[in-house]
Structure 1
Amino acid sequence: MTRDLALPLVRGLRAAGVEKIFGMPGGGPNLDMIGCAEEVGIDFVLAHGETAACIMAASYGRLTGTPGVAVVTRGPGLTSAGNGLAQATLDRFPLLLISDTVSQANAGRVAHQRLDQVGAAAPLTKWSGTLGVGDPEAVVNAAAALATAAPAGAVHLAFDPTVAGDPAPELPMPAVVDDAVLERVRRRCDSARRPVVIVGLDAARHVMGVRAALESMNCPILVTYEAKGTIPESWPSYAGVFTGAVVERPLLDQADLIIALGLDPVEPLPGPWSNKAPMVMLHSHPIDAAYFGEPEVVVGSYDEQFKDLLGRCHSEWPPRAGRETCDRDVARLEYPTQGLSPHEVVRTTRKARGDALLTVDAGAHMLVAMPLWETDDADSVLISNGLATMGFSLPAAIGAALARPGQRVVCFVGDGGLAMVLAELETLARLRLDVTVVVLNDEALTLIRLKQKQNQGGDMAVVYGAMDFAAVACGMGVPGSTVDDAESLRVTLDAAGPGPSLVDARIDPSGYAHVMRVTRG
């Protein structure tokens, strides 16, 4: 019976463009699905954990423009996938999770691993439902389309061959332009003389149109973490990264209009919005803009609306105002250290792996990596910003390497984040992926330590013992090296050939406090 349902399920996935499924299966229905997937030409990638499998799948989907698909077993399989569902939903990555479940036919007598899995997944997803015998191919097609529809996110299907199942989820209605709002925004743009543009993650899905609209604008352009690369950083208008923190306030204080192009409310830090300039938000779909006060929100097509609106602005900014702002802010991050600084790690790795796609974990190192890793390439940096979860960058690097065969991948991760997903080094070795894992190792939860106050647990709350990540990597089949200065790092990176490798960079964290003050206050 499960095979009869699994075949139309995987046919629906294949019709949606799915070529890989990630997961950690249990028995029975999971394995039927994997076997049927193989028959229709869909590969299976085995992970060591359910959340890691979800991040691999969602990252793969984010880079291929298809729904990333993960499969897990019932009970602990579904609950262990929770962080992966949340990451996809809050970071706007497309993910379709299919779980086994205690069937309704057996639920009356089987209590083992019996949970309301549809209900458990609902708060973490765009939609959660049961996949039964009622037109499973259509339900899978609709679920896959919903996962990729803006804003992208997670969708969950509980696989139960004993019921009809839920009807296919509905897709959001196309956006309708409000002509009155559009006219008010036109007048704002007509009168602007010192506009500043913020490019966010929704705009990253429309990179060619966005670049065409902004290329001739002589005004500073800030880019969020998740939109990094959407605007080439070699442009004279590029002004650096936007996080909603203090570092960009001097620029925004000079603006007479802030134009947010695809800026998602999940992207800024959760502080007050204190910018005084009026704000217009241009977006492909409706958003909750309450974080930003009372902006004007135009919803519509990037190609049809936004080039016209941006072209109305008459900028009086000096030439290269954006580039000069960026260079000044980056220079302010510098801090002398006795040992290997995170700044040196980022710059040395960037020079050695200039053509690489980058994944970045949550932690203090991201405050250095995001502004210092320069790129002109769209979709070349992946980070968990909406959820800001540790343990993201290694599974994301695996998904990215599979999505972009032939392109090198660099994974920046702290010691705390890598320890959460350490077993996935074996996945990296087994798949022989061209991923360089760089561990910024300072034996602590340094970002949390920087926020720690008196009487909040001291070192026991944030400091780890020493761990030899290079030795662990070697034990899992990944060549590992340890470095403690920039020259050793350079030599190690230059010597590494294609394939997986790990560099355990023993850093001096003393500069992080300075970076925190400069960027976040």
Structure 2
Amino acid sequence: MSMSTVAEVFAHTLKEIGIRYVFGVPSGNMIDYMEALRKEVGIDFILVGHETTAAFMAGVCGRLTGVPGACFATFGPGATNLSTGVGGAQLDRFPLLAFTDEMPDDLLKRTVQMNINHQQLFFPITKWTTRLNPNNIEEIILKGAGITTDDTPGAVHIGIPAGIGRNPVKEAKSDVDYLRLEKKRWSPLVEDQVAKVEKLIHKSKKPVFAVGLSAVRAQVSEQLIALAEKCQVPVVLTPMAKGLFPEAHPLYAGVLFHALSNEVAKVYSQADLVIGIGYDPVEFNYEDWMPEVPLIHINNSEADVAPGKFPEVSNVVGAVDVALNELLKLNVEPKEWDLQFLKANKKQIVKKLTPETDSFGPLAVVAELRNAMSDDGILTVDVGAHLHLIGQQWHTPSPEKLLISNGWSSMGFAIPAALAAKLCNPGLPVVALMGDGGFLMTVGELAIAKRLNLNIVFVVIYDDSLSLISIKQNKKHFDRSYGTDLNVLEGEPTNHYFGVPVVRVTNSNEYRSALKKAFSAAGPIVIEAVVGSKEYDQLVLQPNK
């Protein structure tokens, strides 16, 4: 046994877990932990401009690596700022460890500057919240890391009492196993489950597979393709599952509730059975889109559906990959779907999402970016009308190549996500795509890209409006400009943000040239694409959204 400080044990435990970065804004109490991180080889503290960014970046690191991301913030306003990103990790299913300063025991229930109850603050937006003391540092951090990655990933909050960082503690020199939870070992389906599922599938003539983000974690792309081909059943995806099933496949039918959702509905509205595979309702409830037909729900938890909405709900609770292997064993004849109809419907969707020649609107911004970006690149996208286009239009080779927030759906996600993606994958192209509204929320974080010299391409769709809200106003026959006009562009273009160069484009030729320049640049660059927003009206928030 050797003596170390609380801060040193903290830093060493995070490093041994596999955490590479801790994101945050310093506080007086946290500087002991920052110094310990500085001395610990293989882990670094990254300063951000705002605590929400710290949590978003940490969550995305967790999503891309499978190792919990880590962030910290100080009392009160630091914690409340952090909470937006912590909620994002919780509902977007990213593994995250969030640390905050907390008052020492004697002041915890006193009226003190900046003091609020952090345990109550983080309780509804985490899987678990707790508090360190000098006697349980490693135990608590390891348990928290296990909880973040167990079953459905999410956030854990750990409060650190002020003033304990330099306290000496005894540290056991032992290998760290951070998954110190008893993991569920899923068994093959019981005979009754198999028989019930088999009966429903045999009875149906036109089932549909609805695939969600739990299937992404289960890495079941090959089983999913094999099962769809065996049964000749079309596949629809939720946005965060995009990339799990090939878009060029004849049985691919589209993404639910994004652009041209009414066209995708022409397929699933014919279904007499829906089979949810890793379907997580955090993106979209079943009853918001499904026809009133039986449901087979395959996931690690039961379906969350309104009582009496569907004639039958059959839950297959367990590991998604185990369940798909069982389904592949069933003797199922090909179903009665018209493959020519599926092909024609997908062709119609593609046609409507193809920009007109010489036009320069949101469709062209997305299409030209896809042409310029290699398949191994990572795209991060903010919330807004443009995200609905991406959901249907963007060719996605695999799920980790497209990072969005759809469970939490927070604006201001794209820039922090791109920063984290580049840190985790320094050799890959990374692009952040956002509207002008989301850009205004996080433009200050471009300073991180400049400081760390991260060659990220930031594409901002400038239409001088919060377009998604404007469309909703218009559908209710309200004044679509009230409270949504931005008007942030001046006559003369800005030449840099915090030292990051800016290129403003107003047509496709300028845009293509700017993209070529940006992808070959040594550091970050912003492309301001000035467009109109009318294209959105016929594509976004259609029926069956």
Alignment CA distance shift 1:214-1:399 (3 Å): same
Mapping of residues 400-479 of structure 1, within 5 Å: 400-452=421-473, 459-467=481-489, 474-479=496-501
- Structure 1 partner of 2:418: 397
Output the CA distance in 1 between the equivalents of 2:492 and 2:438.
15
Mapping of residues 155-166 of structure 1, within 5 Å: 155-160=156-161
Q: Structure 1, unaligned stretches of length 5 or more?
A: none
Please say if residues 301 and 317 of structure 2, whose CA atoms lie closer than 8 Å, have aligned partners that are also in contact: yes
Output the CA distance in 1 between the equivalents of 2:213 and 2:463.
31
Alignment counterpart, residue 346 of structure 1, candidates 327, 341, 366: 366
What is the CA-CA distance between 1:482 and the residue it aligns to? Answer: 0.5
Please say if residues 359 and 508 of structure 2, whose CA atoms lie closer than 8 Å, have aligned partners that are also in contact: no
Output the CA distance in 2 between the equivalents of 1:192 and 1:455.
42
What is the CA-CA distance between 1:487 and the residue it aligns to? Answer: 1.5
Output the CA distance in 2 between the equivalents of 1:394 and 1:125.
23
Alignment CA distance shift 1:378-1:319 (3 Å): same
What is the CA-CA distance between 1:181 and the residue it aligns to? Answer: 3.3
What is the CA-CA distance between 1:255 and the residue it aligns to? Answer: 2.1
Please say if residues 503 and 526 of structure 2, whose CA atoms lie closer than 8 Å, have aligned partners that are also in contact: yes
- Structure 2 partner of 1:204: 216
Partner of 2:391: helix, strand, or coil? helix
Partner of 2:15: helix, strand, or coil? helix
Partner of 1:86: helix, strand, or coil? helix
Deviation string, structure 1 residues 231-290 (Cα, Å, up to 9, x no partner): 122322222112385442221122232211111011116973441332211113445344
- Structure 2 partner of 1:308: 326
Alignment CA distance shift 1:6-1:339 (3 Å): same
Partner of 2:112: helix, strand, or coil? coil
- Structure 2 partner of 1:148: 149
- Structure 2 partner of 1:243: 257
Alignment length, in residue pairs? 515
Alignment CA distance shift 1:258-1:46 (3 Å): same
- Amino acid aligned to 1:21: V
- Amino acid aligned to 2:532: D
- Structure 2 partner of 1:487: 509
Alignment CA distance shift 1:260-1:477 (3 Å): same
- Structure 2 partner of 1:299: 317
Output the CA distance in 2 between the equivalents of 1:333 and 1:517.
14
- Structure 2 partner of 1:230: 244
Please say if residues 198 and 258 of structure 1, whose CA atoms lie closer than 8 Å, have aligned partners that are also in contact: yes
Residue 509 (1) aligns with residue 533 (2): yes
Query: RMSD value over aligned CA atoms?
Result: 2.9
Please say if residues 455 and 524 of structure 2, whose CA atoms lie closer than 8 Å, have aligned partners that are also in contact: yes
What is the CA-CA distance between 1:192 and the residue it aligns to? Answer: 3.6
Output the CA distance in 2 between the equivalents of 1:379 and 1:369.
14
Partner of 2:380: helix, strand, or coil? strand
- Structure 2 partner of 1:9: 10
Output the CA distance in 2 between the equivalents of 1:469 and 1:401.
33
What is the CA-CA distance between 1:212 and the residue it aligns to? Answer: 2.9
- Structure 2 partner of 1:20: 21
Please say if residues 146 and 171 of structure 1, whose CA atoms lie closer than 8 Å, have aligned partners that are also in contact: no
Output the CA distance in 2 between the equivalents of 1:403 and 1:432.
14
Alignment CA distance shift 1:242-1:274 (3 Å): closer
Identity %: 31
Output the CA distance in 2 between the equivalents of 1:380 and 1:267.
19
Output the CA distance in 2 between the equivalents of 1:368 and 1:428.
26
Mapping of residues 169-318 of structure 1, within 5 Å: 173=184, 179-207=191-219, 209-215=220-226, 216-217=229-230, 218-243=232-257, 245-268=261-284, 272-286=288-302, 288-290=304-306, 293=310, 294-310=312-328, 312=330, 313-316=332-335, 317-318=337-338
Output the CA distance in 1 between the equivalents of 2:36 and 2:289.
51
What is the CA-CA distance between 1:12 and the residue it aligns to? Answer: 2.4
Deviation string, structure 1 residues 44-89 (Cα, Å, up to 9, x no partner): 1111011111001101110011101111111111011121111111
Output the CA distance in 1 between the equivalents of 2:180 and 2:130.
8
Mapping of residues 33-72 of structure 1, within 5 Å: 33-40=33-40, 41-72=42-73
Alignment CA distance shift 1:75-1:282 (3 Å): same
Please say if residues 243 and 267 of structure 1, whose CA atoms lie closer than 8 Å, have aligned partners that are also in contact: no
Output the CA distance in 1 between the equivalents of 2:294 and 2:31.
55
Output the CA distance in 2 between the equivalents of 1:327 and 1:269.
27
Alignment CA distance shift 1:157-1:203 (3 Å): same
Alignment CA distance shift 1:518-1:433 (3 Å): same
Please say if residues 350 and 393 of structure 2, whose CA atoms lie closer than 8 Å, have aligned partners that are also in contact: yes
Please say if residues 443 and 463 of structure 1, whose CA atoms lie closer than 8 Å, have aligned partners that are also in contact: yes
Deviation string, structure 1 residues 129-179 (Cα, Å, up to 9, x no partner): 111123210110110111122311111001026799xxx997775556565
Please say if residues 51 and 84 of structure 1, whose CA atoms lie closer than 8 Å, have aligned partners that are also in contact: yes
What is the CA-CA distance between 1:478 and the residue it aligns to? Answer: 1.5
Output the CA distance in 2 between the equivalents of 1:96 and 1:469.
45
Alignment CA distance shift 1:238-1:464 (3 Å): same
Output the CA distance in 2 between the equivalents of 1:231 and 1:175.
24
The normalised TM-score by structure 2 is 0.87
Q: Structure 2, unaligned stretches of length 5 or more?
A: 168-178
